[in-house]
Amino acid sequence: MRFMNRSVILYRGSLKSCNYKCSYCPFSKHRISERELEKDKRQWLRFVESIADDFQGGVMVAPYGEALIHSWYWEGLARLSASERIDAVGAQTNLSFSEQRDLGIFLHEKGKLEKLHFWATFHPEMISTKEFAEKCKRLKSRGVSLCVGAVGIPEMAEQLLALRNLLPDDIYLWINKMNGLKREYTHKEQEKFLAIDPYFWRELEVVPADRKQCEGRLFVEADGSMRICNISRKTRMNWYDSYDSYDSYERILKETECGQRICSCYLAYGGRNDFMNQVLFGPYPIFRIPRRAKAVFWDIEGTLIPKERPEEKELVKGITAEKQNVSDSVKKGLETLAGEGTLLFFATTLPYREAMQHCEEIRHWFQGGVFAGGAHVYLRYDEKEQEFFYELDEKILCQLETTCTGRGFRIVKYREKERLYKLTLLRPSKRPWIKNEAERLMDSLTSELRENIRWFLEENCLQIVSAKATKAEGVRMLCQWADIEQKDAAAVGDSGEDEEMMRWCYCHPLGR
Ligand code: SF4
């Protein structure tokens, strides 16, 4: 099987039993025989052994019932975590395992605690808030990453708030929507849960299915049957089929349909490659452990707002740009991040004024950004204001002006006071630039000018800025001004212009 970088596999074995006896849960009633346990063990260890050398990513066990009370899951997770190619392993668990015995097995098998991630569910019928919070803290102190979850039962809001208060700030307590509620949450109930879990709004959204967001994901069951996620349609392939059973694994996986209209639970929507997932929860959002970046840099067109570009012509004339909408979901995400104290910055090829026109509704959450493809960097934060422009040599204008007639473009100049910092060679939108033509034009400049500029194409616009001006450079500058370490920065975008800044910030590109 060939995988994409940083793929995620969810594994569900044949286990359907639990040591807890919660009144509402079907798995608490199922008695499992020794034979069934043996079968589950065999299947899981077979799966662990079968993960090919070319897999790079994370593996999470999403069992029916409780898996981590069985030693073989610890052995398997340890073996997986020992592989250099596997960044993260973990499981959904009620946390009832024995720390001493089971972490002992994990370490004995050379498991890496720093790769271990738990999605720990709190069961108020079975354990007290205090006992549960203490166990979370002990695990955290041993280097295990974990989040805590509970179902948003309105009557339990006070108890969940108490649990929130007992947990340290760096352990996220999430609230799942209660499926059996059979009514909407009241405004007051929503407020209560939002005070516990600032991301609870995500549970209340309807997330339309979008297969494109699910590349690199797999849900594998004990018998090897596969889906994209836990609720999608099964593929034609089986995990254990031989490589030559199909003409192309990649093609079949790509062609496998989702079959759903909405991504109706967190295991589905939480594992998608959406940029908001990655910003909030890092490269493996399925583990639900917040990334907590201190600064996030956002591309505008194609990321914060839909791809359709407004006519550049309208923008450069200074006419208010055609209104592009930032989705409510993105707005909520920005608001949550801003509320948590994360610094938000734009990182765009648009000049400042046009960027602000596009982002009128959300600009108040931002502290400045990188504009004009990196030629303009601006910070307004903590009563501090800083600004920098990479200038262009005026000589380039004379040379371009002599060549523009007959080439079907006009020149739009961007200046700060008298200083020239960006040029747009604008064509009618029906006649976008072709790369060869642009190259020929740039080759016609003197070598001295060529060496000092950087150019790139955006449909009908050939953009020219200083050679030193890039989004990545602007991001570095802003991080320095705002005292943000590289590891604490995240960036999202969807084009080649964004790749360097995303690499620098160690975040996934959207288009893989
Ligand atoms: S239902 Fe599953 S496969 Fe379909 S889009 Fe949602 S998460 Fe992806």
Other residues' Cβ atoms within 10 Å of the Cβ of residue 314: 13
Q: Is 263's C-beta closer than 6 angstroms to any atom of ligand 1?
A: yes
pLDDT digits (tens, 9 = 90+) for 313-352: 444 434 344 456 899 999 999 999 999 999 999 999 999 9
**Residue 271 CA, closest ligand 1 atom number:** 7
Residue with the smallest CA separation from ligand 1 atom 7 is 268
Alpha-carbon distance of 368 to 479, in angstroms, equals 12
Residue to substitute in 10, 212, 258, 276 for testing ligand 1 pocket (most ligand atoms within 8 angstroms of CB): 258
Q: Say what the pLDDT of residue 267 is.
A: 94
Q: Is 424's C-beta closer than 6 angstroms to any atom of ligand 1?
A: no
46-55, 146-155, 158-167, 477-486: segment of lowest average pLDDT: 46-55
Q: Say what the pLDDT of residue 506 is.
A: 66
Label residue 6 by pLDDT band (50, 70, 90): low
Query: Comparing 310 with 139, which gets the higher pLDDT?
Result: 139
- Centre of ligand 1 to C-alpha 301, Å, is 25
Helix, strand or coil for residue 49? helix
Q: Is 253's C-beta closer than 6 angstroms to any atom of ligand 1?
A: no
- Centre of ligand 1 to C-alpha 333, Å, is 20
Label residue 70 by pLDDT band (50, 70, 90): very high
Q: Is 426's C-beta closer than 6 angstroms to any atom of ligand 1?
A: no
- Centre of ligand 1 to C-alpha 253, Å, is 13
Label residue 370 by pLDDT band (50, 70, 90): very high
Residue with the smallest CA separation from ligand 1 atom 3 is 258
For residues 196-212, average pLDDT: 94
With beta carbons less than 8 A apart as the criterion, state whether 140 and 171 touch. Answer: yes
Q: Say what the pLDDT of residue 319 is.
A: 38
Residue 311 reports pLDDT greater than 90: no
Contacts of 103 (CB under 8 A, 6+ apart): 74, 113, 142
Q: Say what the pLDDT of residue 310 is.
A: 45
Q: Say what the pLDDT of residue 19 is.
A: 86
For residues 291-314, average pLDDT: 79
Residue 92 reports pLDDT greater than 70: yes
For residues 418-434, average pLDDT: 92
**Residue 272 CA, closest ligand 1 atom number:** 7
Share of the chain above pLDDT 70, in %: 91
Label residue 66 by pLDDT band (50, 70, 90): very high
Helix, strand or coil for residue 111? coil
For residues 85-109, average pLDDT: 96
Q: Is 71's C-beta closer than 6 angstroms to any atom of ligand 1?
A: no
Q: Say what the pLDDT of residue 408 is.
A: 83
Residue with the smallest CA separation from ligand 1 atom 1 is 263
Alpha-carbon distance of 478 to 341, in angstroms, equals 16
Q: Say what the pLDDT of residue 512 is.
A: 31
For residues 100-123, average pLDDT: 96
Residue 510 reports pLDDT greater than 50: no
- Centre of ligand 1 to C-alpha 89, Å, is 21
Query: Comparing 254 with 212, which gets the higher pLDDT?
Result: 212
Query: Comparing 148 with 318, which gets the higher pLDDT?
Result: 148
Alpha-carbon distance of 246 to 312, in angstroms, equals 47
- Centre of ligand 1 to C-alpha 252, Å, is 16
Our measurement of the distance from residue 218's CA atom to the centroid of its chain's CA atoms, rounded to an integer in Å, reads 17
In angstroms, what is the C-alpha Rg of the chain?
Answer: 26
Q: Is 453's C-beta closer than 6 angstroms to any atom of ligand 1?
A: no
Q: Is 80's C-beta closer than 6 angstroms to any atom of ligand 1?
A: no
The mean pLDDT of the chain is: 90
Q: Is 139's C-beta closer than 6 angstroms to any atom of ligand 1?
A: no
Q: Say what the pLDDT of residue 27 is.
A: 74
One-letter amino acid of 355? A
